[in-house]
Amino acid sequence: MATTTTAIAERTYNVPLRKQYQKAPNWKRTERAVNGLKAFLKRHMKSDNVKIGTKLNEQLWLHGLKNPPHHVKITVSKDDKGVVKAELFGVKKVSKKEVKEGKK
């Protein structure tokens, strides 16, 4: 029995991160930026279950621990179960089925 989830809301945000990570020491800046991003999404999408996509995570950690981006443009979708998924703007969503077919 397969269950399908449908997107209730899909939005695009340009999230400012600079004020969040300036409050942290240099060696915790990117970690603080990730936590600030999750807090932003919890507040704006009204859900506690927030997932960050792999490309978005790679973009946040691109320049290491001490130098996160000042802001990121993201696409956010919320499904009917209340799960919020954030991905970098412009990244195509790939299903598991398409990944398996690509390996063959």
- Is position 98 within any domain? no
Residues in Cβ contact with 89 at an 8 Å cutoff, skipping those fewer than 6 apart: 12, 73, 74, 75
Phi-psi domain of 44 (left: phi exceeds 0; alpha: psi -120 through 50; beta: other): alpha
Answer yes or no: are the C-beta atoms of 17 and 61 closer than 8 Å.
no
- Is position 20 within any domain? yes
For the record, the structure tokens of 63 come out as 């320049």
Please count the structural domains in the chain: 1
Query: Looking at residue 21, which CATH number applies to its domain?
Result: 3.10.440.10
Encode the chain (104 residues) as per-residue pLDDT tens digits.
556 778 788 999 999 999 999 999 999 999 999 999 999 999 999 999 999 999 999 999 999 999 999 999 999 999 999 999 999 999 987 767 777 777 76
Domain ranges, residue 70: 7-92
Residues in Cβ contact with 66 at an 8 Å cutoff, skipping those fewer than 6 apart: 26, 27, 29, 30
- Considering the entire predicted model, what is its pTM? 0.83
- Is position 53 within any domain? yes
